[in-house]
Structure 1
Amino acid sequence: MSATFSVFHDGQFWVGVLELHDEDGVRAARHVFGPEPGNAELLEFCTGSGFLDLSRQAHAAPLVPEDQRPVRKLNPKRLARAARKALEDQPVGTAAQRALKESFVEHAAGAKAQRKQRREAAKERRRDMARAKAKAKHRGH
């Protein structure tokens, strides 16, 4: 038998959940802390009578088989966001599509480098023209 104690924020309170796993299923009990517990408070709870009471509650709780554990219903927006992210992360299907995608990415990188080169050349030309103009003003004509 293994046990897991988790502390999390449920939206309103900080809650500790003790799960007891054995070959037949899972038993669980929870303790509401209220405000966020500090390390000292958690240590006191785990070493004191609070954890023993929680353990008794967990042992007295009904056994839920692993395969029949209720699945929490997900928020539809979160589910849609996760599905969209999974689709974006998937590679393109066929070899031809992957080749097209790679050539597109390669072309985009080359175009970016060319734009940067042109921008730097234009900046250099403007600087040279300004220096030449300033030099011409200082010749005394």
Structure 2
Amino acid sequence: MKMTVYFDGAFWAALVEWQSGKTYLVYRHVFGKEPKNHEVWNFIHQDLQGLMTRQERLIGQVSSSAIIPKKKKRTNPKRMQREISKSKNQPVLSTKAQLELQKTHEALKKERKTDKRQRKEEEKANKFARKQAKRHQKHCGH
């Protein structure tokens, strides 16, 4: 495991890199202002283990979803040309750590999206139940 604390221009951050089995994992933690020694020590001893297990779980979800092949829809040639030109103009990610950070960011985004969808469904069910209860209460009379 390797941890690098650096200043990215606006905030102090720590980049933690480790090998878990055959997978290479990366986590970026933002401290904000310049961290004191005890803050870094507390991060290592209190928060780091939980974050590492979370990253491993996320990577496990990404790799299991990558096993199922998806049918590729045929794209319009003009759209394909636009996507190619757009990808040419994007900056190339230079390091392995940046690629891994991008993967974990996408996995977190997917996880947040599913959690939000589930919360919305639960809220909709609760709202319907309240509405039904109110309707039954009105129907009962005085």
Q: TM-score with structure 1 length normalisation?
A: 0.38
Higher relative contact order (CA 8 A, sep 6+): 2
Q: TM-score with structure 2 length normalisation?
A: 0.38
